[in-house]
């Protein structure tokens, strides 16, 4: 995602992440905004599957559990290592 810059004044819905599962059973959870943070959606991926997720007015954070490669507009990170 080289060259993609997101300014602070852009809508949260304009930001995406890509999660590629490196093992079976990777779980991605969307967490809500507001006074009480809670899980509002989850997906389970098997090795090689890819999920493109979007931050929205409802989704403030995305949690990844398991071994995965995560691409964002600010770089790449691995989870579950």
Domains: count for the chain: 1
Q: What is the pLDDT of residue 26?
A: 98
DSSP for 8-69 reads TTS-GGG-EEEEEESSTTEEEEEEE-SSS--EEEEEEE-TT-EEEEE--SSEEEEEEESSEE
Q: H or E element: which one contains 75?
A: strand 75-79
Neighbours of 33 (CB within 10 A): 15
- Largest separation between any pair of C-alpha atoms in the chain: 37
pTM value is 0.77
Report if residue 68 sits inside a domain: yes
Which residue range(s) make up the domain with 45? Answer: 12-76
The per-residue pLDDT for 29 is 94
pLDDT, one tens digit for every residue, the chain (81 residues)? 444 444 455 554 578 999 999 999 999 999 988 788 888 899 999 999 999 998 888 888 999 999 999 999 999 999 998
Asked if residue 5 is part of any domain, the answer here is no
In-domain check, residue 27:
yes
């Amino acid at each position: 995602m080289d060259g993609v810059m997101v300014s602070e004044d852009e809508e949260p819905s304009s930001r995406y992440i890509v999660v590629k599962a490196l093992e079976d059973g990777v779980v991605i959870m969307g967490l809500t905004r507001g006074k009480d943070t809670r899980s509002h959606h989850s997906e389970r991926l098997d090795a090689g599957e890819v999920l493109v997720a979007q931050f929205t007015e409802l989704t403030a954070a995305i949690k990844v559990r398991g071994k995965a490669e995560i691409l964002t507009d600010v770089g790449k990170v691995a989870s579950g290592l």
